[in-house]
Structure 1
Amino acid sequence: MISGHEVQDLETAVLEHPHDTQLWLKLTYKKLHNPKGHSERNLEHALNVLSRALEKNRNDSDLWLYYLKLFARREDHAEMAQLCRQAVQYAPSYKLYRKVTPSVTLLELRECCAWSTCHFSCVI
Structure 2
Amino acid sequence: MYPITRETFPRTGIIEIPCYSAASYDGDTAILQPEGVTTPVDFSQLTQEEFESATHDQGRDVMVRGLAALETRWLLGLPEVTFRPPYRKPLGVRLEGSWYYAWPLRWHGTLDGGEYTVVRLSN
Same-fold status (TM-score > 0.5) = no
Question: Higher helix share goes to which structure?
Answer: 1
TM-score, structure 2 normalization: 0.23
**Greater relative contact order, per chain length (Cα 8 Å cut-off, separation 6+):** 2
Structure having the higher strand fraction is 2
Normalized against structure 1, the TM-score is what? 0.23
